[in-house]
Amino acid sequence: MTRRRPALRILVVGSGVGGSILARVLARQGHQVTLLERSRHPRFALGESSTPLAGLSLERLARRWDLPDLAHLATYEAWSEHLAPLRRGLKRGFTFIDQRKDTSDSNRRLLVAASPADRCADAHWLRADVDHHLVQRAETEGIEVVQGIELEPLEPPRPGTSWRWAGRVGSEAIGGTADFIIDASGRHGWLSTTACGPAPSQTTFRTRLLANHFEGVRPLQTRSGDPYPAGAAAVHHLLDEGWLYELRFDDGRTSAGLVLSAPLASRLDDSGKERNDQETSFRWTNVLKKYPELGHRFATATPCEPWVTSAQLQFRKNQSVGPGWALLPNSYAFWSPLFSTGIAWNLLAVERLAEVFDPSGRTARSSGLVRYSTYLEEEATHLRHLVETAYGSMSDFDRFHAATLVYFAAASYSEVLQRVRDQPEVPPCWSKFLGAGDPVLAVALRQLANCSTKTPGSLSRRMVEVLSPRDLVGLDAGQASALYPADLETVLSRLDRLPLSQREKHRAASRLEC
């Protein structure tokens, strides 16, 4: 008989998506949870594009811990029906556009569908709305939420004692004790900057961000043969200066950001701040006017918020857990928004910590945290390799196309396997994120790094061959046109590439239907 572990006093620092959901799950388990937030909701935030893997995590968390609103966030249709006041945008896939050409008519495109229809599509998240909603739900469920707090430096407790934390909300002093602290507050988080320092620089690229929400951006035009409306996606424009993303919301606003590569990134000061909004706006306009299509589409756009200017985006801490504390991925490591990995990786970590801290669970807390740390370390390295390979290919669209296939093979393989499996011996949350450790993906990344071919299309053909054991969605059929629709029949014809039982194969069609 499994002995139930005692409930804990747990402090969660940071009330974004990961922190708020984790606080609610831990409270469902019977722990005494306090959720701290430096700012006040609703507040402007970036990090707004979801993926199918994020949706699967939300659905599992909703079922396991009776949090139905999380399932409503998992797809565009459910969100529109059940959480209509929360603003969102339709995301049917990933659109990449090479903007280095002299005329907009010749710009090359790569479109990869993530869903076959709007009803089961992903969504862009207006984070101000989503984060506020999740915090309100946490308060409704009896969690102590403290907003607007300035925390004092943290002193590690002596062995056998509890954490003591203190801060101020305005002129009011506030504090308490905790058995365990989880930092979900990002790169400059309270715990992550005191309990663990940064790891040595590990990337071959450095980028910073200029971003805002805009009104009046002209829509992106769809071309004949596109597998979905080209603008109903996470749109990426490849530029000489780096790249630009745009996410369009149903209310007409567009979230857009310039991810500037060195040396342009180094022209921001160490804090990542420009001197003022006027200077930032000038830099933004100066870049976009070089590209006819972007200049035309953003010519009528007006910013909705103060500009966001980031410090260097890339970071990694030297550890993710320690005595009495743990970091969520958003506080542990980040490389780039290129493949929209942030929300999905954070939610996977929420699922894992939920298992580790479940009082009725079978996993010892200490061994569970070691496993959690080991997985995050391997996944952070894997994500760096994925993104580094893509960044190293951006000046050559054929090479970039080939590099993206590694990500899409990994993501689609993981998604299909999670949707089709019955009750796997290893819970889905302990499947390594985006195929970390998969030898097939490792070979593909090595070949891309070492290959110098300039023959158009040859690299993508080579990638299709290497990735064949993980290609469930027809990467081989679309590589010539760079258009990849979501096709159920293709997936069903390739189920032998998955480790499935006959029972699971027979049920696959019903589980994969939109």
The pLDDT of residue 397 is 93
Tokens found for residue 258: 């310039």
Helix residue ranges per DSSP H, 183-302: 277-288, 292-298
The pLDDT of residue 273 is 47
The pLDDT of residue 324 is 92
The pLDDT of residue 201 is 64
Listed residue (453, 342, 338, 316) closest to 386, CA to CA: 338
Q: What is the model's pTM?
A: 0.94
The pLDDT of residue 264 is 56
The 10 Å CB-count burial string (b at 16+, else e) for 183-200 is bbbbbebbbbbebbeeee
Which residues fall within 8 angstroms of residue 416, CB to CB, at 6 or more apart?
A: 472, 473, 491, 498, 512
Q: Which fold has domain 1-86+126-202+314-392?
A: FAD/NAD(P)-binding domain (3.50.50)
Contact between residue 10 and residue 26 where contact means Cβ atoms under 8 Å apart: yes
Architecture category of domain 96-112+204-309 in CATH: 2-Layer Sandwich (3.30)
The pLDDT of residue 247 is 98
Burial of 176 (0-12, 13-18, 19+ CB in 10 A): middle
Tokens found for residue 227: 């597998």
Residue 491 Cα distances to 26, 40, 57, 126, 478, angstroms? 37, 45, 21, 32, 14
CATH 3.50.50.60 intervals, the chain = 1-86+126-202+314-392
The pLDDT of residue 457 is 66
Report which secondary-structure segment, H or E, holds 13: strand 9-13
What is the rounded CA–CA span in Å between residue 201 and residue 11? 30
**One-letter amino acid identity for 343?**
I
pLDDT means over runs of 10, the chain (514 residues)? 76 97 98 97 91 98 98 97 97 95 70 96 97 98 97 83 93 95 88 66 86 96 95 97 96 96 57 62 91 94 93 92 94 95 98 95 86 98 96 93 97 97 85 97 93 74 95 92 95 96 94 90
| Secondary structure class of 332 (helix, strand, coil) | helix
The pLDDT of residue 271 is 45
Say what angle helices 17-28 and 52-65 make with each other, to 10 degrees.
20
The pLDDT of residue 189 is 77
List the end-to-end C-alpha distance of the chain, in Å, as a whole number.
Answer: 41
Report which secondary-structure segment, H or E, holds 321: strand 321-322
* Rg of the chain, C-alpha, whole Å: 23
| Bridge-based pairing state of the strands 234-239 and 93-98 | parallel
Which region, left, alpha or beta, applies to residue 387 given φ > 0 means left and ψ of -120 to 50 means alpha?
A: alpha
Q: What is the DSSP letter of 307?
A: P
CATH 3.30.9 intervals, the chain = 96-112+204-309
